[in-house]
Chains A and B, each alone.
Chain A
């Protein structure tokens, strides 16, 4: 290949992998504040991090969270009362495919009737172009399901 053409081609191909890159976070930066109202949602601007002060005890909060995760097409990989790790199922797409995002959920018991939940989304390097943040969606659905 001509050297003049090879360099732009290599740069272009590299950008396909580099631009999507890794995104999001495994650890939420959000923490409980006593001023929070029940079912109050807090979101990071990019929606890779979100929290909700849920009007439910920790066991019910855990149950509802697992339901929401399965509903958004995620598989639960690690599950304890205070922590859930899940990954969205991968799909072959016409262009880039979808799925593979990892979700890290922490549940903190505030009292017998309320739980503070954080949801962090981590997107990977490979296939990052087909991945999106899910934290806001999860906390919004948690609020809806709890209010029903």
Chain B
């Protein structure tokens, strides 16, 4: 009797919704789980171009996987998107963590960037 209910709880225990503003950057994708640098509150010193804005909402149930947090679930999701777009790094523009009872949420706004080599000493694209 309770099996369908348990199954439903389990199915709805974790979800991720991600919107990529510009999915076609024209840049060759990288292998999934490629190396990506994260900038959270740190200025990027290298020159770069912006590839796309990304917005992601991650929800987790404490009983089925613990608490959603930026460095684990959000970084993992953003890394995947950055690799798909051929990006080198992700700038965390903003994020909000919230939790209610057994559910925790993280919503993150980020920018995927690609480093560029320039001969002049122009300032980064910010």
Contacts A70-B107, A73-B59: A98 and B98 contacting too (C-beta < 8 A)?
no
Q: Are A93 and B101 closer than 8 Å at their CB atoms?
A: yes
Q: Which residues of chain A from 78 to 99 have a CB within 8 Å of any chain B CB? A: 88, 91-99
Chain A residues within 8 Å of B57, by CB: 70-71, 73
Chain B residues within 8 Å of A71, by CB: 57, 96, 98, 105, 107
B32 within 8 A of A: no
How many residues of A are in contact with the other chain, CB < 8 A? Answer: 23
Contacts A72-B105, A73-B59: A93 and B9 contacting too (C-beta < 8 A)?
yes
Q: Which residues of chain A from 129 to 148 have a CB within 8 Å of any chain B CB? A: 130-132, 137, 141, 145, 148
Q: Are B12 and A73 closer than 8 Å at their CB atoms?
A: no
Closest to B9 in A: A92
Q: Are A95 and B8 closer than 8 Å at their CB atoms?
A: no
* Contact with B100, one of A67, A68, A98, A141 (Cβ below 8 angstroms): A98
B94 within 8 A of A: yes
B46 within 8 A of A: no
Q: Are A92 and B8 closer than 8 Å at their CB atoms?
A: yes
Contact pattern, B 35-74, Cβ under 8 Å of A = 1, otherwise 0: 0000000000000000000000101010100000000000
Q: Are B103 and A91 closer than 8 Å at their CB atoms?
A: yes
Chain A residues within 8 Å of B102, by CB: 93-95, 98
Contacts A93-B61, A93-B103: A72 and B94 contacting too (C-beta < 8 A)?
no
Chain A residues within 8 Å of B109, by CB: 67
Q: Are B101 and A96 closer than 8 Å at their CB atoms?
A: yes
What separation, in Å, do the CA atoms of A96 and B9 have in the docked complex? 11
Chain A residues within 8 Å of B103, by CB: 73, 91, 93, 98-99
Q: How far is the CB of A86 from chain B (nearest CB, A)?
A: 13
Chain B residues within 8 Å of A130, by CB: 100-101
| A-B residue pairs, 3 tightest by C-beta | A71-B107, A71-B96, A72-B98
Binding site for A on B (CB under 8 A): 5, 8-9, 12, 57, 59, 61, 63, 93-94, 96, 98, 100-103, 105, 107, 109
Binding site for B on A (CB under 8 A): 67-68, 70-73, 88, 91-99, 130-132, 137, 141, 145, 148
A70-B107, A94-B61 given. 6 additional CB < 8 A pairs? Answer: A71-B57, A71-B107, A73-B107, A92-B5, A96-B101, A98-B100
